């Protein structure tokens, strides 16, 4: 594990946790997208609910699989509230990661994550300009998969997953001791 703390002209401390992960469209990529929804995809997600809503020690939390052609990276970013402990936040993130690595999400939570991903597929098609819409999706599919009509195959990757697949991917690709950890603190 690599750890670094820096100070910068920021108002609130922020924790970045990053892992190297599989390339786009390879095994593990879709699973990590679903994991992102389970951890930080909305107000009912595990990390958001615990850190922002219940404990009120974080301003916001994000988790995402940044899929790329050759390799990807998975990142969890937590912006702390003033005077919140980054160590406490890190501990809670690690607890939730261990939980999902050891036991699958329940059926309702898992289905909500799949529904959110499916909804975002359709939302991207409805956007006009600026990184959305049918033309942009066709172009993106052609560039990444060599097939402009890859939409259904891509969506099928998510629909075929089980909650156990997400647990296995979290355990395999996000070991707690093999990540890069960056803390950015306000200049004192």
Nearest CA among 59, 104, 53 for reference residue 79 = 59
Contact 185, 5 (CB under 8 A): yes
Taking CA 157 as the corner, what is the angle to CA 160 and CA 127, rounded to the nearest 5 degrees? 125
For residues 43 and 49, the answer to whether their CB atoms sit within 8 Å is yes
Pairwise CA distance, residues 136 & 144, whole Å: 12
Query: For the structural domain made of 2-107+163-186, what CATH number should be given?
Result: 3.30.830.10
pLDDT tens per residue, range 123-160: 777 766 555 666 666 666 666 667 666 777 888 999 99
Instruction: For the chain, give every domain's residue range.
Output: 2-107+163-186
- 88-129 pLDDT tens trace: 999 999 999 999 999 999 999 999 999 999 998 787 777 665
The chain-wide mean pLDDT, for the chain, equals 92
**CA dist 52 → 6, 30, 45, 184 (Å):** 23, 26, 10, 19
């Amino acid at each position: 594990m690599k750890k670094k703390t820096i100070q910068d002209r920021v108002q609130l401390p922020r924790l970045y946790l990053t892992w190297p992960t599989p390339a786009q469209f390879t095994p593990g990529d879709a699973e990590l997208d679903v994991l992102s929804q389970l951890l930080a995809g909305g107000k009912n997600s595990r990390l958001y609910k615990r850190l922002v809503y219940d404990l009120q020690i974080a301003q916001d939390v994000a988790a995402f699989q940044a899929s790329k052609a050759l390799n990807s990276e998975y990142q969890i970013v937590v912006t702390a509230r003033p005077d919140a402990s980054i160590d406490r936040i890190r501990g809670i993130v690690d607890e939730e990661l261990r939980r999902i690595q050891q036991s699958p999400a329940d059926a309702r939570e898992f289905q909500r994550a799949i529904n959110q991903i499916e909804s975002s597929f359709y939302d991207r098609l409805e956007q006009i300009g600026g990184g959305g819409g049918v033309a942009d999706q066709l172009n993106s599919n052609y560039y990444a998969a060599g097939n402009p009509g890859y939409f259904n195959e891509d969506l099928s990757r998510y629909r075929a997953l089980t909650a156990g697949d997400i647990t296995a991917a979290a355990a395999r690709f996000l070991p707690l001791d093999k990540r890069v950890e960056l803390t950015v603190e306000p200049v004192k």
